[in-house]
Structure 1
Amino acid sequence: MTEEFDTLWRRAQPFLPWNLAQRTRNLRVTPTWFADGSAFWYARETAVGPEHVIVEAETGNAALAFDRDAMRAALAALDTDPDAALARLEILDREGGMALDGAAYAFDGVRLRLMRASQGEPLDLLSPDGRHALFLRDGDLWLRAVASGAKTRLTDTGAPHFEWAKSPDQSLETIRLRRQGIALPPVALWSPDSRKILTHQLDERRVKSLPLVQNLPDGGGLRPVLHDLRVAFTGDAELPMAHLAVIDIASGQVTPHAGGPVHVSETSPLEKAEGWWSAAGDKVWFLDHDRYETRVSLIEMDTTTGASREVIRETETAFVDVNMEFGRRPNIRILDGSGEAIWFSQRDGWAHLYLIDLADGAVKRQLTQGEWVVRDILAVDPEARRVVFLAGGMGPCDTPYQRKVCAVSLDGGEVEILTPERGDHDAVMRDLGWADARAVADRAGPLPAAVAPGGRHFVVTRAPIDGLPVSELRRADGTLVARVECGSCAQDDVILPEPFETRAADGETMLHGMIWMPEGAREVRSIPILEMIYPGPQCIEQPLSAWPADPSEFFKTALAGAFARIGIAVVILDARGTPFRSKAFHDLCHRRLHDPGYLEDHASAIAELCDRHPALDPGRVAIMGHSAGGHAAARAILAHGDVWQTAIATAGSHDPRLYNHAWPEKWNGPLIRDDAGGDSYAAADNSRLAAGLRGALMLGHGDLDDNVHPAQTQRLACALIEAGHDFDLLMTPNDDHYSFPRAPYVVRREMAFLVRHLSKSGPAI
């Protein structure tokens, strides 16, 4: 590194994500409601650690739940690190009931007295009544009686790669979790009466092996470690399949699903919260997807016989979503008491909710409609016949992606916009199903949720595009009760993004993006440009506010601001083929992995921004991306070297044929081979374009990436070497898909690379 870059790096230091996070607090309130809905508690972030605050729902009056110093002293008797214990502490009630690591205590202001020991063990899945716990042993399911400790074996057919209640190897984080010492509890869903479980036996026996070498073993030693995963690549004939079954814990009776096994993608239906029990325990419902996600069906299964029937089917030529954002809980709810279900569909061209009859799958009514989208269901009140949800692009918004809290009656009527103010409205979702069961196993109290039990109040965080977020307590009709918390950080700590609109390359479609402009003097063509790209197509890249609470989004916005601090303008654009707009807009991505995110749209936007801002230099444009963004960044410089002269591509999925089949096959369809030896995915392989490199390219990868295998980057590097091109290659030991792009060393190398290649002369910009 040169002295000039060292100066820039020091200038950027205070604004880099890991440093800025130390000065930023309370970007969102995460409320945990008491059972009667009369109050909630949350952990207020302070310079010396969390403060536990109780807020009264009717008045908004807030008070500390206890004296922090007294509690810290009491915790010192239980834990050698009382500050860490304080961060894990939960409040159970207003009378001094506390919980830590599943154990319940009474706090009298001085000491903590144990009321109930933790019922679970780290790998247990507790029943709703707390009397039994499921655990795994050698591929089979076992049951433990909490009171006596007696153990009963529930299954005896577990075998290597054919294990009960297992998460798929291709979950994208199997090795990362293993290295962190995180072992998952059984993948199972207890019935409400705690008498049965819905689970699966996961068949990975014929799925091909994917090795990953760990060159620096975590426990020390010289000999590298070989990790072995079972992962199906795009086009593979054999896929992991889940054999669903219901097990009666008293009799041990195993009732398999008579309809045969179901597909798993990165995870199984139960892990995606796509399974539901009836109140009586006589039925379960689950979602069944075809391999290419062109069909999704709601299946009802008799828990006594295993017989099943299809309640409703949704099909699309391109792909079907049950939530427009990858990894979010499906926007489907079973209303067992009334024999109905809330169903999510884009059949009218937009993402909306429908009420269906569980008896025959007939649509009783469309609950929401219009040129906007339902993002997430927050709560359903079957008694009041009301659903509360987040909607995108409704009412006054800075972008069509910002959300508002809305509600609608299950019996029909107009949608109520409960938070009409400008900005994005963020609300905490309570996951149900297996994800909920996992969380409950580690807690003694309820899970956080935006909407209070009974639905009379909710908590929302309103985040403007040009300021700090504010968390508010509101009544069911949206009227304000109280401002609960304001995000805090010195305004000078951030360069705010400027939203912009532009036309796509087709000259018609309106696109939206953000630009972070450096401060100070702006001479003509004096500012280089960096585009940060992630083309989805399962999500968008631009943040919804300047101060997002999500850690990944915060990292991104902070990094953009840090680049702007050293004189680089940063652009983020969501082009055609991304979600959260119309179905037709999203479908434009289908079968286009060879052109990730419509790169011509990005090129057009860069040119227009340079016309609007004469200080921007179209001759010094860089692009950087990670994962699918890494594929797009490399593709940009290889195919459009006249627009982007510099690129950083980290953990790039440079050839979608070398990836977990579920993601590419949803967006690009089946792998079809031709008589000439090619296939329908070959055009998406970046190595085919390696000879065309004209600018400066940096490739990066962590050698323990269990999401995008390091072979992806190595194959592109090999093609570049064979083409005789110079490029930078950074491979870091023991970094995975998540840790690599967030590592300070990696960020420093990336910044140095950009400074070197975006400078007009020398490293100083």
Structure 2
Amino acid sequence: MSTRPILILIVLALFLPGRFLANLAPTPVFGQDGGEVANAPAKPIPPLSLESIYHPKQRHAYVAEAAPATRWILQSQLGEQAGAESDSSAVRLLIRRGGKWMAIDPAQAKRDGAPAETPWNGFEELVKQLVSLGGVERKQAESVVGGWVASGSRSLDSSLVRIENSLAIAGLDETPRWVSRQAAAWQDPTLSPDGSRIAFVQDNDLHVLEIESGRILRITDDGSPTRSNGRLDWVYQEEIYGRGNFKAFWWAPDSRRLALLRLDNSHVTQFTIATSDGPRGGVLVDRYPKAGDPLTHAELWVANLGDTGESRVTLLPVFTPPLADESLIVRVSWQTETGHLIFQHMNRLQSELTLWRFAPEASGGHQPTPILREQSEQWLEVTGSPRWLSGGDFLWLSDLPSGRRRLWRISGDGSRRSPLTPDGFDVRETVAVDQATQTAWLYGDSDRGTVGQHLYRVSIRPQGSVEERGAREDRAGGDQSPTSGGGAEPRLTRLTGDSPWHSVSISPNHRWMVDRSSGLTQPVRTTLRGMDPPGLGDATGAGFAKASGGWALHEEILRLPGEMLVPQWVSVPTLDGLELPGYVIRPSSGGAADGTSRRHPVLVEVYGGPLAPSVRDSWSTTRFLFHQLLASRGIGVMVVDNRSSGGRGLSDTWSIHRRVGEVETLDMIAATDWLRGQDWVNPDRLAIRGWSFGGFLTLHAMTHSDRFAAGVAGGSVTDWRNYDAIYTERYMGLPSDNAAGYDATSPVLAAKDLHGDLLLIHGEVDDNVHLANTLQMAAALQRLGTPFELMIYPGSAHGVQAGMPTYHLMRTTVDFLVRKLLPNEAVQP
């Protein structure tokens, strides 16, 4: 479970034989915000069903033509003359149309109207390069290059390309060549900034290949199953650096140094997972620190490589805390202008964070210098690395002091701080920074908080600084969190239009953006825009129809077999006066105005983890289709966020500290009270469903309230002592210091108070939330003689395997919901 805003809900569908909607003629086609925009296609559209949504062979594409891949490149990479823009920063937009890449000149479009698309030959050139290496089939090369170009983060001039067990270097400015034909064991191979070296991890040791000579330098030599160099273990990647990211080394800008983490988890308790493979089964064993257990010990070092060809490599310790310290190294980066190493570390409970600077070129004995410190009585979130500005200042995201995330400009020594965004506006992400114009672009939503997402522009010029008081010694030892600087309130300018959710890609020269906009009922629209606020809203229409907000490049079209059931946005009042964001979808057979309405069961969807909202006004095809299916069959849907997941930044999330589940369940009770007040809702047939943290909240709500007639809990934490230390202790503290809190929030210990029918689901080899969680809950219920249902998915981890296992999961869950909410397969009066 990670704290980044991720939704781990497994979306289920309803399967009711013989009761599906008949095909209607003509079939409406929906786009934009749900309005009918085209005539019916000739081919009949199948009714919504479990098969048409999830079956791997019977799935239907209700949304035609997914949004095309795009990426920005410099005009110079096209081999063109300066043309419309004479400066070296002139750009082109690449867009994939079918199997071909086309190039668009946005500056030409600005003058002459709709932008013309011309073929981009770079794709074919890169494909030919790979084929020319020998041993590479054309289809294979096309697949590799397609992913390379679409990624957007990899240079087209020169890049590493993995082809099966081999590595090559290729690019528009590169002569293609094999680097190694035996690189299967190389983990995270990374090209140095100057293109002369490749760093990689093999057998838990860091190595560097000098490309010209082919010589491999072994940087470390103590790698083992319990000691890794440049490679993260499970808990560090899951909870600190991001799921799937195991890389733990960073090239310096001059390519002469590497920073690396060295991890020792020999003292971390092993956890064994049994598998059902073969006649004798098997086991998976990994180091997994549970709440209160010893943590992985992390150290930060720098490898001095010198110039290419030098034989001597020196390792320099940067931050090597004692084993008993149990601190966490949470971010590592380099300051390009000075060549300094920048890193952040936190205490075990993640209530204190220090930003450090280290000068690797200094003589021996030099120690890192603290730049700033932040401290909270609850916990702090890692908000990313600082963005350095010319002159030594940096941009920093901080939740302190108010619990609302703001962007700050801070001097290089931490002594002067200026708030750049207003208090009360939570910055979701810093998208881009242009030092030439002193401008930053940010994601957030000043009106709807976590529900929407817009792009904003803000000046990064100091708005009113706070001079730090006290000597450097006091500053190094005290709380240096940013505080309000007074002066004029910073001003934000919204740049995106009327659609509720926007994800943008800004051109390298900061003059253009590709805007992918959507909504809960609106599939994705792709638009090319300038960087000024739109005049009359979003671009609409097909092709390149000109609109005030830009030029429409593509629009996904939704085709349904019947009328759309439009969600209703709601604001749910809590017992203490807060408003929870949510939406409901009322079943199609809802009541008439004369009072003859029939009451319907409602399924409440939850995730509810800290800072992880589920209620978003953005497009998700599967989620939308599933909810439409449920509502069309007579089961209402409610999606609602508690204050921890969808509230006002950390200021609301901190309320769960040391009592995870209690406040969230009270908020769920408030949501059910709201539902019970609706004349179309059957108050005796409310169900709740969630996965991962949502599974925990499902169980907590069913054991700490009597509001739900049924619940589906998948991949659930059933006692926080069972989950990993870094995530759990952030919110709950140590079990030894908060035994009462751990007991009070444990569904296992509250099993005797279960209300409603329960279906438990889990993957057999879940290495994140272990299967033991669900089995412990099952054992507690069995000891009490309480009936429940259980489904295990062999071979599946935290997410059930795609294909038929997922389809089976849907059938199992839907069968349970139908039996409990619609026992007669008819809407109840």
Q: What TM bracket, shorter-length normalisation?
A: 0.7 to 0.9
Aligned partner of 2:4 in structure 1 is none
1:315 aligns with one of 358, 368, 375: 375
Aligned partner of 2:107 in structure 1 is 58
Task: Indicate conservation of the 8 Å contact 2:328/2:346, yes or no.
Answer: no
Task: Indicate conservation of the 8 Å contact 1:172/1:707, yes or no.
Answer: no
- Please show how residues 207-286 of structure 1 align to structure 2 within 5 Å: 207-216=268-277, 221-236=278-293, 238-250=294-306, 251-258=312-319, 260=321, 269=330, 274-279=331-336, 282-286=339-343
* 2-structure distance, mates of 1:565, 1:488: 21
Question: CA RMSD for the aligned pairs?
Answer: 3.6
Aligned partner of 1:345 in structure 2 is 398
Aligned partner of 1:454 in structure 2 is 509
Alignment length (residue pairs): 692
Secondary structure of the corresponding residue to residue 675 of structure 2: helix
Aligned partner of 2:675 in structure 1 is 609
Deviation at 1:722, TM superposition (A): 0.4
Measured at CA, do residues 415 and 648 of structure 1 come closer, stay the same or move farther in structure 2, by a change above 3 Å? same
2:793 aligns with one of 732, 735, 751: 732
Asked whether 1:581 is paired with 2:648, we answer yes
Deviation at 1:37, TM superposition (A): 5.1
* 2-structure distance, mates of 1:276, 1:99: 21
Task: Indicate conservation of the 8 Å contact 1:51/1:68, yes or no.
Answer: no
Aligned partner of 1:23 in structure 2 is 63
Deviation at 1:246, TM superposition (A): 0.5
Aligned partner of 2:50 in structure 1 is 13
Aligned partner of 2:524 in structure 1 is 469
Read off the aligned partner of 1:357 and give its amino acid letter. S
Task: Indicate conservation of the 8 Å contact 2:589/2:634, yes or no.
Answer: no
Task: Indicate conservation of the 8 Å contact 1:651/1:708, yes or no.
Answer: yes
Task: Indicate conservation of the 8 Å contact 2:299/2:319, yes or no.
Answer: no
Task: Indicate conservation of the 8 Å contact 2:103/2:117, yes or no.
Answer: yes
Asked whether 1:680 is paired with 2:736, we answer no
Asked whether 1:566 is paired with 2:626, we answer no
Secondary structure of the corresponding residue to residue 632 of structure 1: helix
1:633-682 CA-to-partner distances (Å, cap 9, x unmatched) read: 112222223x10100000101111111111111112232358xxx54311
Aligned partner of 1:590 in structure 2 is 657
- Please show how residues 657-672 of structure 1 align to structure 2 within 5 Å: 657-672=721-736
Asked whether 1:756 is paired with 2:819, we answer yes
* 2-structure distance, mates of 1:231, 1:588: 28
Secondary structure of the corresponding residue to residue 544 of structure 1: coil
Aligned partner of 2:610 in structure 1 is 537
Measured at CA, do residues 62 and 148 of structure 1 come closer, stay the same or move farther in structure 2, by a change above 3 Å? farther
Task: Indicate conservation of the 8 Å contact 1:232/1:660, yes or no.
Answer: yes
- Please show how residues 22-421 of structure 1 align to structure 2 within 5 Å: 23-27=63-67, 30-34=70-74, 38-44=90-96, 50-60=99-109, 61-63=115-117, 65=119, 78-80=137-139, 84-85=143-144, 87-88=146-147, 90=149, 101=161, 115-117=175-177, 119=179, 121=183, 123=187, 124-170=189-235, 186-216=247-277, 221-236=278-293, 238-250=294-306, 251-258=312-319, 260=321, 269=330, 274-279=331-336, 282-304=339-361, 305=364, 307-323=367-383, 330=384, 332-335=385-388, 337-349=390-402, 350-359=404-413, 361-392=414-445, 394-395=446-447, 397=448, 401-412=451-462, 414-421=490-497
Measured at CA, do residues 730 and 24 of structure 1 come closer, stay the same or move farther in structure 2, by a change above 3 Å? farther
1:85-119 CA-to-partner distances (Å, cap 9, x unmatched) read: 57425289xxx989894667799xxxxx9941365
Task: Indicate conservation of the 8 Å contact 2:159/2:191, yes or no.
Answer: no
* 2-structure distance, mates of 1:172, 1:254: 24
Task: Indicate conservation of the 8 Å contact 1:44/1:50, yes or no.
Answer: yes
Q: How high is the sequence identity, in percent, across the aligned residues? A: 21
Measured at CA, do residues 132 and 264 of structure 1 come closer, stay the same or move farther in structure 2, by a change above 3 Å? farther
Aligned partner of 1:689 in structure 2 is 750
Secondary structure of the corresponding residue to residue 263 of structure 2: strand
Measured at CA, do residues 555 and 290 of structure 1 come closer, stay the same or move farther in structure 2, by a change above 3 Å? farther
Measured at CA, do residues 475 and 348 of structure 1 come closer, stay the same or move farther in structure 2, by a change above 3 Å? farther
Task: Indicate conservation of the 8 Å contact 1:88/1:100, yes or no.
Answer: no
* 2-structure distance, mates of 1:281, 1:456: 28
Secondary structure of the corresponding residue to residue 514 of structure 1: strand
Secondary structure of the corresponding residue to residue 456 of structure 2: strand
Please, what TM-score do these two structures have when normalized by structure 2? 0.76
Deviation at 1:252, TM superposition (A): 0.9
Secondary structure of the corresponding residue to residue 716 of structure 1: helix
Deviation at 1:321, TM superposition (A): 2.1
Task: Indicate conservation of the 8 Å contact 1:594/1:683, yes or no.
Answer: no
Deviation at 1:58, TM superposition (A): 1.7
Bigger drift between 458-467 and 240-249 goes to 458-467
Secondary structure of the corresponding residue to residue 618 of structure 1: strand
Unmatched tracts of structure 2, length 5 or more: 1-13, 21-46, 76-87, 110-114, 163-167, 307-311, 464-489, 535-548
Aligned partner of 1:503 in structure 2 is 573
* 2-structure distance, mates of 1:426, 1:369: 21
Deviation at 1:632, TM superposition (A): 0.8
Measured at CA, do residues 355 and 172 of structure 1 come closer, stay the same or move farther in structure 2, by a change above 3 Å? closer
- Please show how residues 615-630 of structure 1 align to structure 2 within 5 Å: 615-630=680-695
Measured at CA, do residues 72 and 302 of structure 1 come closer, stay the same or move farther in structure 2, by a change above 3 Å? closer
Task: Indicate conservation of the 8 Å contact 1:197/1:246, yes or no.
Answer: yes
Deviation at 1:72, TM superposition (A): 13
Deviation at 1:144, TM superposition (A): 1.1
* 2-structure distance, mates of 1:86, 1:526: 55
* 2-structure distance, mates of 1:528, 1:125: 54
Secondary structure of the corresponding residue to residue 680 of structure 1: helix
* 2-structure distance, mates of 1:589, 1:24: 43
* 1-structure distance, mates of 2:509, 2:126: 34
Measured at CA, do residues 41 and 290 of structure 1 come closer, stay the same or move farther in structure 2, by a change above 3 Å? same
1:4-49 CA-to-partner distances (Å, cap 9, x unmatched) read: 943358852366267366734445865333375533445547xxx5
Deviation at 1:714, TM superposition (A): 0.4
* 1-structure distance, mates of 2:50, 2:770: 31
1:210-256 CA-to-partner distances (Å, cap 9, x unmatched) read: 1112222xxxx4332211111111112x1012110000123311111
Task: Indicate conservation of the 8 Å contact 2:275/2:282, yes or no.
Answer: yes
Secondary structure of the corresponding residue to residue 58 of structure 1: helix
Deviation at 1:461, TM superposition (A): 2.0
* 2-structure distance, mates of 1:127, 1:50: 32
Aligned partner of 1:423 in structure 2 is 499
* 1-structure distance, mates of 2:411, 2:122: 52
2:711 aligns with one of 631, 637, 647: 647
1:557-594 CA-to-partner distances (Å, cap 9, x unmatched) read: 44333322332111111122225624322222222214
Aligned partner of 1:110 in structure 2 is none
Unmatched tracts of structure 1, length 5 or more: 108-112, 324-329, 429-449, 549-553
* 2-structure distance, mates of 1:42, 1:649: 44
Measured at CA, do residues 544 and 31 of structure 1 come closer, stay the same or move farther in structure 2, by a change above 3 Å? farther
Aligned partner of 2:581 in structure 1 is 512
* 2-structure distance, mates of 1:73, 1:133: 23
Task: Indicate conservation of the 8 Å contact 1:20/1:558, yes or no.
Answer: no
